Amino acid sequence: MNFIDTLKSVDLVLSTNEVPLVVGESGIGKTALAKKLAKENNWSLVVIDGNLLKEGEIGGLPTIESYTTTNSNGEKIEKKITVYAVHNKLREIDEEIAKGKSVLLFIDEINRCEHTVQQELMNLILNREINGYKLHDDVKILAAMNPSSKYGSDFDYQVVDMDAAQENRFVWLNMEPDYNQWLNWAMDSGIEQKVIEFISTFPEYLHRINEDDVRATPRSYERVSKSYKVYKEQKDSIPRNVFLNVIKGNVGKVIAEEFISFVESDCSPLISYEDVFSCETLSSSVIEKVKSESHTRLYLSAMNILKTLESNLKNDDNISENNINRFIEFLKLYPVDLMVGIMKDIKSNYINIYSKAIENEEFVELYFESYSMIRG
């Protein structure tokens, strides 16, 4: 499943009070999914990384306390009891609950920890208690792990497999990378434009196993974006080969060299919102630029413009019909297959624009005419 489908599936499973287990490669976006889910539901997010825990840590270290009780003869006697300290992550849950918040407990890397740690986490996940500590009813649990060769994965992760009984206690959800959804996420998350364009041009590089080299994952390109931003701002003081080495360390030698070449060979900016809407009419320079642009760059231009237009409509519902008409005029310049794809995106992802566009006769006619042309 892609990111959105996995997100919706997790939400459904949690609503039944079961525990979803998201299975996906390292860096694919499992933590981002947990963050988005918590944000959308206004839950506090607490993350436990199983890979970083040591034996006995999550259960707390034992201490001995004394208490007084009465025996069968009515005599007071002192007894000893073992009490376990509460791990700081469990205390963090209690603090959020005390504020009246619901909590999403995200337990990651559940199969990349020691077997004893895994058993402790299983107790917390499946029985909702550990060493006397009990999870509040307002705590929902989401678990995640990397694929195992036991289930046919080609990746060689060092994992500790669960037994069949434990496996059967989860709802398994397999998450896979989807470059279109990553592009939408990247545009909303401030990823550098050149990085977005690069993945649009080479979608196969988003998640790539490089033999005898660093793997490229969606997470890798977050780091590439940060490095590229610094490099742009300090280009005079950072040598090209230094920047190249940093990119190699994130995505491997082959992709790094491709990225550097891509950045250096294509410096013209995308068609922007201002280019389309700032003049009284659509300028001839924009019309000519559309004709010379690649499908990839045209798609990114449209997505950037739509995001700005959607935001403007949220803040001002009285934006004139002229804005919709101008965008339709701009969209008409696109290749027909790309135009239909963007119109479908508008219906799925841009509610405010679509509510106005569907009332626009020209938009409706354009869609059906374009769709008919594709169908032949």
pTM of the predicted model as reported, rounded to 2 decimal places: 0.67
**pLDDT at residue 152, rounded to an integer:** 47
Residue 260 lies in a domain: yes
Residue range of the domain that includes 22? 3-56+89-174
Show the low-confidence residues of the chain (pLDDT under 50): 152-153
Residue 77 lies in a domain: no
Residue 76 lies in a domain: no
Whether 110 and 151 map to the same domain: the answer is yes
Distance CA 172, CA 184 (A): 26
Whether 44 and 98 map to the same domain: the answer is yes
Whether 120 and 96 map to the same domain: the answer is yes
Whether 284 and 139 map to the same domain: the answer is no
C-alpha 275: how far from chain center: 31
**pLDDT at residue 47, rounded to an integer:** 92
Domain boundary among 217, 245, 265: 265
**pLDDT at residue 148, rounded to an integer:** 64
Distance CA 109, CA 166 (A): 15
Whether 186 and 228 map to the same domain: the answer is yes
Residue 192 lies in a domain: yes
Q: Which residues pair with 69 in a beta bridge?
A: 77
Interior angle at CA 87, CA 66 and CA 115, nearest 5 = 105
Whether 8 and 152 map to the same domain: the answer is yes
Identify the CATH number of the domain in which residue 160 sits. 3.40.50.300
**pLDDT at residue 267, rounded to an integer:** 60
How many CA atoms, within 13 angstroms, populate the side-chain half-sphere of residue 309? 31
**pLDDT at residue 317, rounded to an integer:** 59
The token pair that represents 269 in the structure block: 């900016």
Parallel, antiparallel, or unpaired for β 139-145 and 20-23?
A: parallel
Domain boundary among 265, 287, 320: 265
Whether 24 and 151 map to the same domain: the answer is yes
**pLDDT at residue 124, rounded to an integer:** 87
Residue 108 lies in a domain: yes
Q: Which letter, b or e, does each residue of 206-238 get, where b requires 16 or more Cβ atoms within 10 Å of its Cβ?
A: bbbeeeeebbbbbbbbbbbbbbbeebeeeeeee
Parallel, antiparallel, or unpaired for β 133-134 and 129-130?
A: antiparallel
Domain boundary among 203, 230, 265: 265
Q: Report how far apart, in Å, the C-alpha atoms of 79 and of each of 132, 269, 288, 341 are.
A: 18, 76, 88, 73
Contact indicator for 81, 64 with CB cutoff of 8 Å: yes
Whether 159 and 255 map to the same domain: the answer is no
C-alpha 50: how far from chain center: 20
Whether 155 and 221 map to the same domain: the answer is no
Whether 110 and 22 map to the same domain: the answer is yes
Q: Which letter, b or e, does each residue of 312-335 get, where b requires 16 or more Cβ atoms within 10 Å of its Cβ?
A: bbeeeeebeeebbebbbebbebbe
Residue 231 lies in a domain: yes
Whether 126 and 109 map to the same domain: the answer is yes
Residue in 198, 208, 255, 236 with CA at minimum distance from that of residue 244: 255
Q: What are the residues whose beta carbons fall under 8 Å from the beta carbon of 369, sequence distance 6 or more?
A: none
Distance CA 376, CA 361 (A): 23
Whether 243 and 285 map to the same domain: the answer is no
HEC states along the chain? CCHHHHHHHHHHHHHCCCCEEEECCCCCCHHHHHHHHHHHHCCEEEEEEHHHCCCCCCCCCEEEEEEEEECCCCCEEEEEEEEECCCHHHHHHHHHHHCCCCEEEEEECCCCCCHHHHHHHHHHHHHCEECCEECCCCEEEEEEECCCHHHCCCCCCCCCCCCHHHHCCCEEEECCCCHHHHHHHHHHCCCCHHHHHHHHHCHHHCCECCCCCCCECHHHHHHHHHHHHHHHHCCCCCCHHHHHHHHHHHHCHHHHHHHHHHHHHCCCCCCCHHHHHCCCCCCHHHHHHHHHCCHHHHHHHHHHHHHHHHHHHHHCCCCCHHHHHHHHHHHCCCCHHHHHHHHHHHHHHCHHHHHHHCCCHHHHHHHHHHHHHHHC
Residue 64 lies in a domain: no
Total number of domains constituting the chain: 3
Residue 73 lies in a domain: no
